[in-house]
Amino acid sequence: MKTDNNGRFTDLIRNERLFKDLGTPVFDPAEDRVMICGNPQMMNDLAVELESGNFTPGTDVEPGEFLIEKAFAEK
């Protein structure tokens, strides 16, 4: 199956095309956990998108539904 998935990853999540093309359900904070790694702008954009979908960020103290990899993040 060939698909045309040009564009920002966050857009493919927002418009649900990523899930449709993969044949999987959309992200669900009750079932899914996400680890974000990449360039700082993409990590920020994806965190905002996940938070708008009721995902909470994990911390050193409290686990959440998503975590931002900080090893390579710019400060």
Handedness of CA 4, 7, 8, 11 (dihedral sign): negative
Where is average pLDDT lowest: 4-8, 9-13, 14-18, 22-26? 4-8
Q: Is 12 helix (H, G, I), strand (E, B) or coil?
A: helix
Per-residue pLDDT at 75 = 53
Strands 66-68 and 34-36: parallel
Residue with tokens 């931002």: 68
Per-residue pLDDT at 45 = 94
Q: What is the pTM of this model?
A: 0.80
The secondary structure of residue 27, as a DSSP letter, is P
pLDDT tens digits, 17-54: 999 989 999 999 999 999 999 888 889 999 999 999 99
Higher-confidence residue of 62 and 72: namely 62
